[in-house]
Structure 1
Amino acid sequence: MEQELEKKLEQAIWVAHSLFDRNKTNGSSANLSFIHNDKIYISGSGTCFGTLKKTEFSIVDFSGKRYNEVKPSKELPLHKIFYEKNHKVRAIVHIHSFYSVIFSCLDGENTIPKYTPYLEMKLGKIGVIPYAPPGTEELFALFAERADEKRGYLLKNHGQLVGGGDIIKAFYGAEELEESAKVAWYLREKNVSLLP
């Protein structure tokens, strides 16, 4: 296995295990991917971040051709659309982390309030994608219609989808989105208004 691919796989495994071990995801509900040599390496269908292995990545090109026997996550089209909409994104993390899900369930198009500067510094504006059931053509169509050059999205009543230049940067973005959501939810519960 070539050295660059090996490093990307090792980083992806570390990200998955770190998110699982710190309760940012559970069961088999999350997925991640990265691009290598114009192919998408995405965690396989039904895999768990807590036990994810290098052999559990599906390898798919942008036309949909598969290069191994691992069935890709059903959210593969979301990843593919994200890569096509923002060519700077080379890796994606999709998790159903607690506070991000809370904000994804709130009414309206509002995203996470900017109490601290870090979310905007690390991710920029967060997009909101209307609800459609996970893994459906309806969701993929809504994402294709709404996605642009943003690096972070809340999928309504679903969770977060964050991209970056590599898997570590996508991980940092996902972490910042969740922490910003946690701070905002705490302050909302305390009825703290936005600072000037």
Structure 2
Amino acid sequence: MNATDAEITTLLRQGNLSNSGIARILRVDKHRVGRIRRDLSLPNVLPQPLTLEQKWASKTRPVEGGHLAWTGERGSASRTPVLRYKDECHTAAALAFRRRTGRAPEGYAFAECGFNHCVAPAHVDDEPGRQRTREQLRYLAGGQKRPAECVHGHDQAEHGKYESDGRAYCGQCKTEQRAALRAQQLEPASA
């Protein structure tokens, strides 16, 4: 459907919709709406300023089980929920973590509740929080305290980590293994 100039003018004269808002409603080009606005000498509508937290909340939807689904933008390759606000891009999970704790997350913030990309503040944790939870899971499952050093001599107080099931591993060893694998993949094949 192609809206008439009269339909666009009617919405412009209401005075509460932006060019983009009218374009969305009538499914027309926003530049056409802007041209008509200028021809009528009508001022642009100032956007209603939302706080970062209000904008975040407007992009969530409650889901059964206490989860929050993200209805906003997603990162292109990773499909990570993101929110653009005042020329900055935030992950929705980092904002959920900040909402719950009042501080920025250390490392990546995400939920391990089983609901894909959940942004419920109670479900989202940062790296130190996840490691504490995983360590507790290890002990609850009958696991022992991890050794002070890994088999390669890395200090586990600094490099020790836990998988989501509570199994301990050395983060430094894993980093070195990944680097070696990448280097191996970049080497030209032997003739």
Structure that is richer in strand per residue: 1
TM-score higher than 0.5: no
Say which structure, 1 or 2, has more relative contact order (CA 8 Å, 6+ apart): 1
Find the structure with the greater CA-based Rg: 2
Q: Shorter-chain-normalised TM-score: which range? A: under 0.3
When the two structures are superposed, what TM-score results if normalisation uses the length of structure 2?
Answer: 0.24
